[in-house]
Structure 1
Amino acid sequence: MEALSLLTTRNSAAKLAAPGPSDSELAELFAAASRAPDHGRLRPWRFLLIRDNGLSALGDLFAEAALRREPTLGEPELARFRQQPLRAPLIIVVVACLQNHPKIPLIEQQLSAGCAAHGMLLAAEALGYAGIWRTGANAFDAHVMAGLGLSANEEVSGFLYIGSREGRAKPLPEIAMADYVKDWR
């Protein structure tokens, strides 16, 4: 896919199915991620692959966390949390690894991890796959972070659901550039 076309047409896909990227294709996603802007070359990210049986385990973790947040949840609501990771054959957890650095603020490191995630979504699309970047309460939940093995200096930037697009891409709305682009002077 031509680069500019990819950048202007990439679209999140909520409905994903198998197959997902092969190991060699995943290497290409991670190569794209590694080209994210990165002040000081800190590489302030790492990635967790969730697939196969790990998807169900992540669903259990999501349900446990939801029950801790809201102890009155019933089984239908908990089942919904258990099903969330099963919406794609692969989830890549983007972890921001934040360092106390005298010249590189945390926000730059967080943005770098976000750019790495975006690079992976673009690479997946270029390879013929689709994806969606999800966060929600689970991305910020201490129980989920502990269950994923994150350190005190790490946080979830997002859950990238990756797979083959089911159905057609949703139409992208037209964006009026004049609504958010202005000359400064």
Structure 2
Amino acid sequence: MDTATGSEANSTLELLRKRRSVVANNIGEPGPTRAELDLILEAAIRVPDHGKIGPWRLQVLSKAAQAMLGDVLAAEFKARIPEANDKQVEFERQRPQRAPVLIVVSSNVNREHSVPESEQMLSCGAVCMNLLNAAVAMGYAAQWLTEWPAYNDTVKQALGVSADQHIVGLMYVGTAAEAPGERVRPDLATAVSYPEVIPVP
């Protein structure tokens, strides 16, 4: 059985303890190479998957595809908010193009399977988290976003995501323009308990 050395285990734990997202507007070139991206994606889909369903799909959008998605966002934003000014519309056009790499993670839930939909969706979330950690381990910056486009039917249609599925993450990957600062984290005492007994009815 393969086991990690002490130094490998420690470095992995430190990455998990200290990982920070970088806001997409602060992620620039260079992005990962195709070979590096393949490693990140390979790690991303190595997640708990009860039933071996693979209830997720990943799309790595090319620069051309990012620009096309930006046009969709701009048009949809203008249609929803007719009073939006040119600057606001242009911001939406640039939204998918903020980082060198944009990966769309969507669900592919099999509702006929005995595994509950909630478990399949949790597997989708695990893909996004693995992707973030893998990108950081590779030395890149990343941010997991959804924002309004993830919940818009026109955007889903443009990305080939059926109406009964979900865009789980818009994953931006590249190089941090500046190191992110730390932010306040939940205190363990507020999130973790050690019950000796449970209130059996």
> How high is the TM-score relative to the length of structure 1?
0.93
Q: Return 91-100 or 169-178, whichever deviates more.
A: 169-178
Hey, what does 1:170 align to over in structure 2?
181
CA contact 1:16–1:165 (8 Å) conserved in 2: yes
Deviation at 1:174, TM superposition (A): 4.5
Deviation at 1:75, TM superposition (A): 1.9
Q: Return 69-78 or 133-142, whichever deviates more.
A: 69-78
Q: Select 1:56's aligned residue among 63, 67, 73.
A: 67
The answer to whether residue 14 in structure 2 is matched with residue 5 in structure 1 is yes
Gaps of 5+ in 2: 1-7
Deviation at 1:74, TM superposition (A): 2.7
Q: Select 1:122's aligned residue among 133, 140, 159.
A: 133
Deviation at 1:37, TM superposition (A): 1.0
The answer to whether residue 155 in structure 2 is matched with residue 144 in structure 1 is yes
Residues 128-151 of structure 1: CA distance to partner in whole angstroms, max 9, x if unpaired? 001001111100100000011122
Residues 154-179 of structure 1: CA distance to partner in whole angstroms, max 9, x if unpaired? 32001001001111122232542001
Check 1:77–1:97 CA distance in 2 against 1; reply closer, same or farther (3 A cut): same
Hey, what does 1:134 align to over in structure 2?
145
CA contact 1:91–1:161 (8 Å) conserved in 2: yes
> 1:95, 1:22 → 2: CA distance?
23
Deviation at 1:69, TM superposition (A): 2.7
Q: Equivalences for 1:11-90 in 2 at 5 Å?
A: 11-14=20-23, 15-90=26-101
Gaps of 5+ in 1: none
SS class of match (2:51): helix
CA contact 1:90–1:162 (8 Å) conserved in 2: yes
Equivalent residue pairs, number: 185
**If you compute each CA radius of gyration, which structure gives the higher value, 1 or 2?**
2
Provide the identity percentage: 33
> How high is the TM-score relative to the length of structure 2?
0.86
Deviation at 1:55, TM superposition (A): 2.0
Which segments of structure 1 move beyond 3 Å, counting only runs of 4 or more? none
- Letter matched to residue 22 of structure 1: T
